[in-house]
Structures are given as structure tokens and as C-alpha cells.
Chain A
Amino acid sequence: MEKAQFTSPWLPYLLLAPQMIIIAIFFLWPAAEAIRASFFLEDPFFGTATFVGLQNYSDAFAASDYQRTAWFTFVFVVLVSLISLGIGMMLAVSADRVLRGKGSYKTLLMWVYAIAPPVAGLIGVMLFDQHIGPLVEFVAYFGWDLQVGVDYWDTGFAMIVVATWKQVPYCFIFFLSGLQSIPTSVKEASAIDCRSETRRFWTITFPLLAPTTFFLLILNITYAMFETFGMIDQIVKDQPGNSPVTLVYKVFRDGFRGNDIGGSSAQSVILMILVLALTVAQFRLIERRIHYT
């Protein structure tokens, strides 16, 4: 690659400046502020702050409420990530069988990618509506009195279903394109070498999808942890504190509803560290990732 030479030593910094300023204003500054606030106990009425060291952190970890939320978040993230991966992969495998060599359908399917997430989110919430939700009516036939917003695990169930519902199209489209990039001749060679289709899937297709699966896993974890905020808000907004929420939502609730800025900041710093760890893990694995050429 050709190296660009700048005549002035300042020019590259000038060109980078807009990006840097945005990062500084919207990320670095709030992050620094959160770290600072996490060491103080702030009085919401008088605006005075007392330095308390790590107390906000030890309080957070010690609170049974925090542990319960962390546990729910863990269950939520694991289930949403894995179920959407599983369903997305199953759908993609069936679609791939029909679509092999038919490019035009593939473009049509891309529409799912564009349309589904926002619409699906809305529909998903409506499905669980206590009065008009068809899913609530449906499970009632089986004697399940589904009470979203009242029963802790019923609410959790609804959140998991809606979050998964929104994420399946992403997984589907990435898996489909992963499947379509497996050469037909490789599939044919394996059909000659192995009679069982199931076995072919696990020995050829699945390993060849590994890079896609890994990418989607990270995407799903990030999504389930952070991007489900709006959906959770929609489900729990008028409900008392008994509903399950994720850690991110709890940061918001404790900080802005509970006015516990210090505690909320400590929690968000913990999340920041988690994201950092996730990112490092991702880069580590990408570096070692098997590239098939």
C-alpha cells in the first residue's frame, strides 16, 4: 500500500479531530465522570458529595437486588444469544437448501434484515399485551396464566421471547450468507464422502460456519446486554420494582429513578469493565480465528 505523506505535521491530527472530539464528548468524558462519581456519595437534594472510596462498589455487590439482577442478566443474555443463534441457523439452513444458486431470492430475503428489527420489536411487545396479546391467549389454552409485569419469571419469559424474536433475523441473514459462501462443490464432495446429512452438517457445514457463529455470538451478547434497554423499558415501565431487569436497565433505574448517582455510576463502571473484557476476548479470538481461503 502507498503511504500518504503529510506536508504539515498537524494536518493528520486536524483530520482526525472531528472523530476524536466526538469520542471525547460522548464517550471519554461521561466515562471519566462515571468513574469519578462512583467514588462519591452524592446528596440528591443539596448537590454535596462525600468521598466514600470503594463503598459504592461493595454496596452494589453486596445488595441482594444487584445479585438477583446480575443472575437474571446472565440467564437472559445466555438464552437470548444461544436461542437466536440456534433458530437463525436452523432457518438459514432450510433457506439455503431452497436458495442454492438462486441469487434473486437472496436479495428479497435481505429485506427481512431492513424491516424486521423495529417492527418485530413492536409486534413482539404487542404479542404479550395482557389484554389483546394473542400469545397470552394462546398459552391460556394450556392452562398457563401468563402475567407479564406481575409474575417475575413470566415477565422474564416475555423479555427473552421478544429479544430473541428481534435478533433472529440478524442471525438468519448472516448465517445464510455464511452458508451460501460454502462452495457447492465442497457440499457435493461431502455428499459423496458421507451418507448421513446430519453428520455432514456437524462435520462440514457447522465448522465452516464457525467464524460467522463466533461473530454473531459476540453481536448477540452485546445486543442482549445493552440494546434491549428500550424493549425492557416498554415491558416494565408502569410496573413496580418486582419485574426482572438487566444490569443496564438497573443502572438507569437506580440513577434516574432512585437518584442514587454514586451507586449507579459504580454499576456502570462494572459494566464498562465487562465490555472491555468482552472486547479484548473478541480481538484475541479474531486474531487466532481460522481463515479459510
Chain B
Amino acid sequence: MTTLRIRNAIKQYPNGAQAVKGVSVDVEDGELVVFVGPSGCGKSTLLRMVAGLEEVTDGEIELNGRVVNNLEPADRNIAMVFQNYALYPHMSVRKNLAYGLKNRGTPSDEIDRKVEEAGALLQISEFLDRKPSQLSGGQRQRVAMGRAIVRNPAIFLFDEPLSNLDAKLRNQMRLEIKKLQRRLDTAAIYVTHDQVEAMTLADRIVVLNNGMVEQIGTPTEVYSRPATTFVASFIGAPPMNLIPGELSKGQLHIGAHSMPMNSAHAGPVTFGFRPERAHMNGAASGLAVEIGVIEELGAHRLIHGRVGDHEVTVAQDAELPPPDGRMMLAFNEQDTHLFDPDTGARV
């Protein structure tokens, strides 16, 4: 049983930069939690605090009921997979895998068994006696994962492990990581800036921005009920359309158009809708969009246009006839989102 609790973690670098500004996250047994956010938002810093590679300025990291803030990385029972693999270049694959076990005093017959097992699981058995320099990027990635799994740690920490691979291999490895994690049933934190990776891998997503948590939730929750405009525009491709509007007496006014909105809120709001959740109704009423460029993507097409001064994008099934000039959009109530224009928070 593994639980990791990060409580109010703060990281201030010696140069004064505050990279993590009070983050609290729990990771439950067997759960795969993804930290996602734009580059520089503090994902790696937070992960490295869990690993013990960065000192915790304030707050607590608790692993299985024990505060580990002051433990050495080697004493934390964690294993990490680095972006650039970080294999020991002078050791064979076998020795790379065995190194952590050997230093922990594991008997050599047990090391051999575990290395063989991990090698078979990751399909690197035939490379065990090669040096890392004789392997391809994908194979090195497998070795890096092997090094993590032989130790049978309480939690796996992945820091953008796939970003050095080409797109095809990345998709394949992503699936394998997920399968492997399920099979080993070990808790894991996975850091990425790629929202597709986050959506496909995660049991729960932690969206980070500027050192703070924007939202924690399952991929579905984060997609269908984004807590802030930041999450709304970060998760989903193409991102959610956000247009300023005015809410009064249950009516949302955007330019000349108005539509009923089941909300007690009044005043200026940011109205959001996903490109793939808008219908074009043939009727003359609806939110009017001046059509600009149309991109054909095979299964569907993206229609770029404007509502007043604001760019919007709408996705449409490619089977349907493409619109021309101007289109009218209508929405299902549950596909509409309202945010506070000042704070960006959902209202």
C-alpha cells in the first residue's frame, strides 16, 4: 500500500525564484497521477522534491505515513526515470539494472533473477550485455524503465520520459508505460507538458501553472469541467473557445446575440465552448460566426472564424457539407462554460 501526500510544498531556489508556491497533492496506491503544465511551471521541481533531489523549502512530503523531507534520495524508496535516460555510460545494461540493487545489499542470485525478469518484461533481454551507447533511443528508454522497476519501489517518478523519442515511438511507449504501470500496480507520478499524454495516461491529472495547482481531477473532469480559463485553454486540442460576454437575468449576451443560461450570476463573464461541442443549426438564430479559413483534417474539419473581434474555432464532421460565409452556432447547456473574466475561475 503506497500513499504519497504532498502538503503545501514550497520551493524557492537560492536565486530567489519561487518555482513551487504551495502545492498539495495526494497519490493513492496504484494510481498514475500526471503533472501537466507549460514549460517552466514547476512540474519537474515538484517531482524532484518528491525524489529528494531538490530540498523542500517549506511544506511536507509524506510517503506511507512518514515525512521524508530530510531523507536522502536513496532512502526514499522511489525510482525515477529521467528525460535523457541518465544511464551509466560505462556499465552494461545488466550492470545498469543491477546497480541500485547491489548497493542495497541484495543477494546476487536475486539480482540476477530480477534483472532477467525486468529484461524479459521490457523486451531488452538480448541487449543485457551491451553498453548504452550501442542502443537506440527507444531501447535506452526501456533500460531506464528497467532500472526503475527492478527495485520494486513504492512509487515511480517519470520526468518527461518520452520527449526525446520520435512521435511514433512516443505513442507506442506511452501505451506500454500505462500497461506496465497497471500490471505492476505501483503508484506513479508522470510529468509532461503534453496534454495528450496527460489525458491518455492519467488516472488523475494535476494541472500546474506558474507554480500553483489550477485543477486536480480525472481526465474527464478536467476536460468537461475545467476549473479555470487556463485549464480550459490548456487541455484539449484545439483549445476551448473563450469569448467575453455579459450575464443578466439568466440571459447571456454576446454582441447582439443572447441565449438563456441557467446561472444566477450577473455581470461580465467569459463564455467558453469546445470546438467539437458546438452545433451548426440551419436556423437563422444562434451565435453568428463569420467564417474565415477552413482546414480539412480527413475525419473532420476545423472551421476558423470570428465572433465580433474574437477568433473562434469549430470542429465539424467531414461528412457534413462545409458551411459558407456565415454560420449560426447553438450549444447544449452542459457544453457551455462560464468563467470570471478577472480571476479566470469557473462561475
Q: Which A residues have a C-beta under 8 Å from some C-beta of B?
A: 183, 185-186, 188-196, 199, 203-204, 207-208, 210, 290-293
Contacts and interface: CB of A to CB of B under 8 A. Distances in A.
A290 B90 CA distance: 8
Contacts of A208: 89-90
A291 B88 contact: no
A interface: dominant SS: helix
Instruction: Kindly name the residue among B51, B53, B75, B83 whose own CB sees the greatest number of chain A CB atoms within 10 A.
Output: B53
Contacts of A293: 89, 133
B325 to A, nearest CB: 55
A106 to B, nearest CB: 18
A188 B50 CA distance: 13
Contacts of A290: 90
Contacts of B82: 185, 188-189
Interface string B46-79: 0000011100000000000000000011110011
Contact of B73 (A191, A204, A292): A191
Contact of B51 (A190, A192, A203, A292): A192
A292 B133 contact: yes
Contact of B86 (A185, A196, A199, A203): A185
A183 to B, nearest CB: 7
B100 A192 contact: yes
A189 B89 CA distance: 12
Contact of A195 (B89, B103, B147): B103
13 contacts: A183-B86, A185-B84, A186-B86, A188-B73, A191-B53, A192-B74, A192-B79, A193-B147, A194-B99, A195-B103, A208-B90, A210-B90, A292-B89
A191 B86 contact: no
A92 to B, nearest CB: 18
B90 A194 contact: no
Contact of B99 (A185, A203, A291): A203
Given A290-B90, A293-B89, A189 B80 contact: yes
Contacts of B86: 183, 185-186, 188-189
Nearest to B74: A195
A186 B88 contact: yes
Given A196-B103, A199-B103, A210-B90, 11 more contacts: A188-B51, A188-B82, A191-B73, A192-B51, A193-B99, A193-B103, A193-B147, A194-B99, A194-B100, A195-B103, A290-B90
Contacts of A292: 89-90, 133
A210 B53 CA distance: 26
Nearest to A200: B103
A195 B52 CA distance: 12
A33 B306 CA distance: 91
A189 B90 CA distance: 14
